[in-house]
């Protein structure tokens, strides 16, 4: 059966070089050159350049920064592996996490600090982006009500004719139609303001004859869906996309007894109304309704902006509001950067859309006529619940209205913001597709993201993400921050990058409401999930800028994850950032491999669901989602494949389960089919909008009759069946149904790059099948940076089958390049324990953080179980010292490992003076072969735990005795966290002759 759009919805789950304007397209879009030879690819993978390093959100709270702290932060960022900072200026953090006043935003003092930051970043080769507002999203005290977000309002007056009417029309109610507003930020401050404080402005006044007021209005289910269809339905950012889209996709049909208003009977009398609302009109005979349509500012303001820069949020449908923002911030942001603009300062941004659900603008009638090609005024009564023409015609008008709102947002805000940035030699970064607040904001998410040079989304860590069952799908979204086990918007961002030809799909990464509970070892699974969804550029959220004199952990944001030089484990963070950089490097090579391109229809809101398995497609295939714009302007066909200008290609185009389709879309589908494309989906029967109605419907049916007889157009066949009949096997499969191995595939010339990740917190052994023939598989490990050829593979029906083994939450790159070789290699040798290192350990703590200088542990134990409160409440680094002999020294050449067992929470190892590196994730072991000797080995293991234990201990002390300083208060019932080296610590050997199965 063809894919159902309803089911599809329901089941889903920079270089630092100068960039002139001519370079902007190549910098943000695909710039594919010749694939690198494997040795160059590996060298770059081992030590990725700054362009491939992750960045961070660098928060300046209340301007509480100084030059010493700025330099310290940037030098540490560079040393550990952050290649980019996204500078956000706000007031104190969320959740009551207040921060003292520092330099006021845009003041001379702030500008000097900002210049210093740019100069230091330039010295260190770090890219800088700046959020183009205090707080978020965009606005300030310079945004007057005229250029702020707007809601439409309507009032009506019943009159009888004939008569000469002379009088003032009633004003709409201040919140007419907005009875259930509960989620826009700060809405209680403005929702009930009197109309005279809301900058009410008229749009149009129309009159229409009614015979029966009741039967001329929507009733029953149609009336119930009116708030959603008129963009007046509020919802939290937790709402699922299907619950946003389904109500507006449900078609209206006429009901018995309907007395619709004839389109031609709606009269525009706007020119008869004076500026004060006084109407002079010669009313014709009959019963008439005079409908006054206008708009108020929503009143929405910026979130946590500094008082000196707080104000109204911009009108998202009026490019002039963006111009005002530039008029006020060009000099302090761009001007102060001077010659560093386009070099160090490389982009401006506006953060995730959290501005309620504006639905109107002053010029909406003109914009509607431009986009939809007809006059909307006769249909304005539909917004008030009247039936114009018919229920079906009224539904089409609302479809066109919502689509116009989405187009204005994409073009007037995101495209215009990009244009202004480009004029100044800068790129633009936007979180233009949510998760929005309100979740019902009427947007074409892909179009918004497509207007950005650096499309960006976000992913979170759940409140209990590292606990057993903490990500169970039975838990609420507020707990897991996952939908169907996947991140909410990252697949959407990746699709936008692919279909609009962008090099990077970015994400605000690891956001949470947890304080100092996270560290590299428990963040990896979230990183791998995002990589498999298509994200290839992380901006870690968040790295708060702090002054050294403010102590540790220092002033922090009310949200996390806290990831800056003040976290306990910062000194050991570099390998985790290197892991991210290596993954990002490989996941930007070549092009994403997908077999299916879903067309998401032309309705608005238009949102892409989280990554999921469509039952019509099944497991093993990957996909992208496109919108109407991309289908019309960027798709072509070559050798039967659906192509994008940047080289992306797909086997099939899948249509939504909807019998409505715009005429330009069905014309384009006809063109694609005639050029050789395979299309799957139901045969359309009518147009979706009102342009050229009813002739548009006839054209849709005529073209559909022509092309739905083509053998490449499938209305009744499932996607998987179509692909298999065409000889397209799944791209990646594995043989154990209990396992969960996720994947993403890219191809760079003749090199196939697969990233495969174990989504379970347990070891897994699977036979994995890759859709690659005749190429040599090589395992690249992004944790260690090592690679090795695999020999245990076999060819099978044009694919390659490889036995793979994964650590808990482990991940691997499998690279296929060059001719396959037949070699006998033990790919995953058995690891055998040789001895446990038992007995007493000397442990040295840092006295300035309350620990003893040195203490002997008779055996490895959890610090929180120790009688000494300096150890029980200790946070920071402690070094374990131990001498040991190897009981039975293996023969030379045998690989020996030191297995640390359980580590809370990260460790570095030295043996006989040799630094063996940092251990931050499974398998929690290091190679000791070159350092170990038979007798008198000297072992040093530095272990670092997390801040909460010291914070809990300090809460029991008088303030003048406390060692920590922070504005964050842990919950009173916060528990001590297991800490230290818990072991058991063992020596183990690798056995090349045994491969366990």
Dihedral pair phi/psi, residue 272, rounded to 5°: -100, 5
Predicted local distance difference test score (pLDDT) of residue 34: 75
The pLDDT tens digits for 828-880 are 999 999 999 999 999 999 999 999 999 999 999 999 999 999 999 999 999 99
Q: How far apart are CA 334 and CA 115, in angstroms?
A: 11
> How far apart are the C-alpha atoms of 634 and 993, rounded to whole Å?
54
- Its pTM stands at 0.95
Alpha-carbon dihedral of residues 981, 985, 988, 994, nearest 10 degrees?
-70
Note the pLDDT of residue 352.
85
In angstroms, the CA 595 to CA 728 distance is 9
**Confidence (pLDDT) at 825:** 86
Contacts of 395 (CB under 8 A, 6+ apart): 229, 251, 252
- Give 420-473 pLDDT, tens digit per residue: 999 999 999 999 998 888 899 999 999 999 999 999 999 999 999 999 999 998
Maximum Cα interatomic distance, the chain, rounded to a whole number of Å: 112
Separation in Å, CA 401 to CA 379, 380, 397, 901: 10, 10, 6, 61
pLDDT at residue 436 in the model: 87
> Which pLDDT band, with edges at 50, 70 and 90, does 28 fall under?
low
The Cα 185–Cα 855 span in angstroms is 52
The answer to whether residues 364 and 253 touch, using CB atoms and an 8 Å cutoff, is no
Helix (H), strand (E), coil (C) string for 304-349: CCCHHHCCEEECCCCHHHHHHHHHHHHHHHHHCCHHHECCCEEEEE
Q: Which spans in 373-506 are helix H?
A: 380-383, 391-408, 416-423, 445-450, 477-480, 490-500
Q: Strand pairing of 764-770 and 713-714?
A: unpaired
Closest CA to 837 of 896, 895, 765, 908: 896
Mean pLDDT of 803-808: 98
User: pLDDT tens, 152-177?
Assistant: 999 999 999 999 999 999 999 999 99
- Average pLDDT over the chain reads 94
pLDDT tens digits, 547-562: 999 999 999 999 989 9
Q: What pLDDT, in 10s, does the model give residues 480-537?
A: 999 999 999 999 999 999 999 999 999 999 999 999 999 999 999 999 999 999 999 9
Spatial CA neighbour of 543 closest among 31, 141, 61, 29: 61
Class of domain 732-827: mainly beta
Q: Give the per-residue pLDDT at 996.
A: 43
3-class SS of residue 6: helix
Quote the strand ranges of 120-183, DSSP E: 127-134, 139-140, 150-168
Is the pLDDT reported for residue 14 higher than 50? no
Query: Given CA atoms 981, 982, 983, 984 in this order, what sign does their dihedral have?
Result: positive
Percent of the chain with pLDDT strictly greater than 70: 96
CA distances from 381 to 209, 217, 297 (A): 11, 9, 21
The pLDDT value given to residue 35? 80
Alpha-carbon distances of 352 from 50, 411, 445, 459, 718, rounded to whole Å: 25, 17, 12, 12, 37
Q: What's the token pair of residue 633? A: 């302007």
993 confidence band (pLDDT: 50, 70, 90): low
Local structure of residue 823 (DSSP, 8 states): -
Query: Structure tokens of 668?
Result: 């384009």
- Fold held by 832-991: Jelly Rolls (2.60.120)
**Cis peptide upstream of residue 542 (ω within 30 degrees of 0):** yes
Task: Supply 47's token pair.
Answer: 């030590």
What does the block give as tokens for 710?
């083509």
7: buried, middle or exposed (CB in 10 Å: 19+, 13-18, 0-12)? middle
Return the pLDDT at 32.
56
Domain ranges of the chain: 594-725, 732-827, 832-991
User: In the predicted model, what is the mean pLDDT of residues 357-379?
Assistant: 98
Cα separation of 407 and 394, whole Å?
Answer: 20
754/851 Cα distance (integer angstroms): 46
pLDDT at 12 over 60: no
Mean pLDDT to the nearest integer, 567-595: 98
- According to the model, what pLDDT value does residue 824 have? 82
Confidence of residue 326 (pLDDT cuts 50, 70, 90): very high
């Amino acid at each position: 059966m063809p894919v159902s759009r309803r089911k599809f919805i329901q089941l889903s789950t920079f270089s630092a070089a100068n960039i002139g304007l001519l370079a902007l397209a190549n910098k943000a879009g695909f710039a594919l050159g010749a694939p690198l030879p494997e040795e160059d690819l590996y060298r770059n993978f081992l030590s990725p350049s700054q362009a491939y390093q992750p960045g961070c959100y660098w928060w300046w709270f209340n301007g509480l920064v100084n030059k010493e702290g700025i330099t310290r932060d940037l030098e540490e960022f560079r040393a550990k592996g952050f290649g980019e900072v996204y500078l956000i200026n706000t007031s104190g953090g969320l959740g009551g996490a207040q921060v003292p006043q520092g330099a006021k935003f845009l003041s001379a003092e702030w500008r000097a600090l900002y210049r210093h930051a740019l100069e230091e970043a330039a010295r260190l080769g770090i890219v800088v982006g700046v959020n183009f507002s205090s707080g978020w999203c965009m606005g300030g005290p310079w945004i007057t009500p005229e250029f702020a977000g707007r809601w439409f309002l309507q009032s009506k007056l019943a009159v009888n004719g004939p008569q000469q009417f002379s009088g003032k029309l009633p004003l709409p109610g201040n919140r007419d139609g907005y009875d259930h507003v509960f989620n826009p930020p700060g809405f209680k401050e403005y929702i009930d303001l009197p109309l005279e404080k809301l900058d009410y402005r008229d749009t149009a006044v129309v009159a229409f004859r009614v015979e029966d007021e009741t039967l001329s209005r929507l009733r029953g289910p149609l009336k119930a869906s009116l708030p959603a269809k008129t963009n007046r339905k509020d919802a939290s950012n937790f709402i699922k996309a299907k619950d946003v889209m389904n109500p507006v996709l449900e078609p209206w049909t006429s009901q018995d007894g309907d007395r619709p208003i004839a389109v031609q009977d709606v009269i525009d009398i706007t020119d008869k109304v004076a500026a004060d609302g006084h109407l002079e009109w010669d009313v014709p005979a009959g019963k008439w309704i005079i409908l006054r349509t206008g708009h108020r500012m929503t009143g929405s303001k910026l979130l946590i902006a500094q008082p000196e820069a707080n104000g109204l949020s911009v009108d998202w449908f009026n490019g002039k509001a963006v111009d005002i923002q530039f008029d006020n911030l060009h000099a302090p942001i761009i001007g102060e950067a001077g010659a560093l603009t386009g070099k160090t300062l490389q982009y401006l941004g506006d953060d995730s859309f959290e501005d309620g659900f504006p639905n109107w603008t002053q010029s909406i009638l003109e914009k509607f006529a431009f986009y939809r090609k007809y006059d909307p005024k006769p249909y304005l009564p539909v917004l008030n619940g009247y039936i114009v023409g018919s229920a079906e015609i009224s539904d089409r008008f609302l479809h066109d209205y919502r689509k116009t709102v989405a187009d204005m947002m994409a073009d007037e805000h995101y495209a215009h913001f990009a244009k202004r940035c480009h004029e100044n030699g800068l790129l633009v970064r936007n979180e233009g597709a949510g998760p929005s607040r309100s979740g019902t904001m009427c947007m074409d998410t892909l179009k918004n993201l497509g207007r950005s040079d650096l499309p960006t989304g976000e992913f979170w860590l759940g409140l209990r993400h590292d606990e057993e069952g903490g990500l169970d799908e039975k838990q609420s979204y507020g707990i897991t921050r996952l939908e169907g086990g996947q991140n909410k918007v990252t697949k959407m961002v990746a699709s936008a990058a692919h279909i609009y030809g962008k090099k990077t799909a970015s994400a605000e990464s690891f956001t949470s409401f947890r304080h100092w509970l996270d560290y590299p070892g428990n963040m990896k699974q979230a990183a791998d999930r995002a990589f498999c969804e298509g994200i290839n550029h992380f901006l870690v959220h968040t790295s708060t800028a702090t002054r050294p004199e403010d102590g540790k952990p220092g002033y922090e944001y009310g949200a996390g994850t806290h990831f800056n030089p003040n976290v306990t484990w910062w000194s050991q963070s570099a390998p985790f950032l290197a892991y991210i950089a290596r993954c990002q490097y490989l996941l930007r090579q070549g092009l994403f491999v997908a077999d299916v391109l879903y067309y998401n229809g032309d309705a608005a809101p238009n949102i892409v669901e989280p990554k999921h398995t469509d039952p019509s497609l099944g497991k093993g295939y990957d996909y992208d989602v496109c919108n109407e714009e991309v289908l019309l302007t960027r798709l072509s066909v070559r050798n039967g494949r659906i192509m994008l200008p940047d080289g992306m290609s797909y086997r099939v185009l899948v249509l939504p389960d909807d019998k409505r389709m715009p005429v330009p879309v069905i014309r384009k589908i006809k063109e694609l089919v005639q050029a050789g494309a395979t299309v799957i989906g139901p045969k359309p029967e009518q147009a979706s909008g009102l342009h050229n109605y009813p002739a548009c419907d006839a054209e849709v049916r005529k073209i559909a009759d022509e092309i739905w007889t083509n053998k490449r157009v499938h209305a009744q066949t499932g996607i998987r069946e179509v692909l298999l009949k065409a000889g397209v096997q799944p791209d990646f499969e594995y043989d154990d149904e209990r396992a969960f191995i996720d994947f993403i595939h890219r191809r760079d010339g003749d090199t196939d790059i697969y990233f495969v990740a174990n989504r379970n917190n347990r070891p897994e052994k699977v036979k994995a099948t890759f859709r690659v023939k005749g190429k040599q598989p090589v395992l690249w490990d992004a944790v260690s940076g090592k690679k090795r050829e695999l020999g245990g593979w076999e060819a099978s029906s044009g694919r390659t089958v490889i036995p793979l083994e994964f650590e808990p939450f482990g991940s691997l790159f499998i690279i296929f390049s060059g001719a396959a070789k037949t070699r006998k290699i033990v790919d995953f040798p058995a690891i055998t324990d040789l001895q446990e290192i038992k007995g007493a350990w000397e442990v040295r703590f840092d006295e300035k953080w309350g620990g003893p200088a040195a203490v002997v542990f008779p055996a490895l134990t959890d610090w929180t179980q120790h009688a000494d409160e300096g150890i029980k409440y200790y946070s920071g680094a402690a070094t374990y010292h131990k001498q040991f002999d190897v009981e039975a020294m293996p023969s030379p050449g045998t690989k020996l490992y030191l297995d640390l067992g359980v580590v809370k929470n990260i460790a570095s190892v030295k043996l006989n003076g040799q630094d063996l590196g940092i251990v931050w994730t499974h398998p929690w072991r290091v190679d000791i072969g070159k350092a170990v000797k038979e007798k008198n080995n000297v072992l040093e293991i530095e272990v670092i735990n997390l801040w909460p234990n010291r914070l809990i201990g300090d809460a029991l002390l008088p303030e003048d005795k406390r060692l920590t300083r922070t504005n964050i208060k842990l919950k009173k019932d916060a528990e001590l966290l297991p800490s230290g080296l818990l072991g058991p610590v063992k020596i183990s050997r690798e056995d090349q002759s045994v491969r366990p199965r």
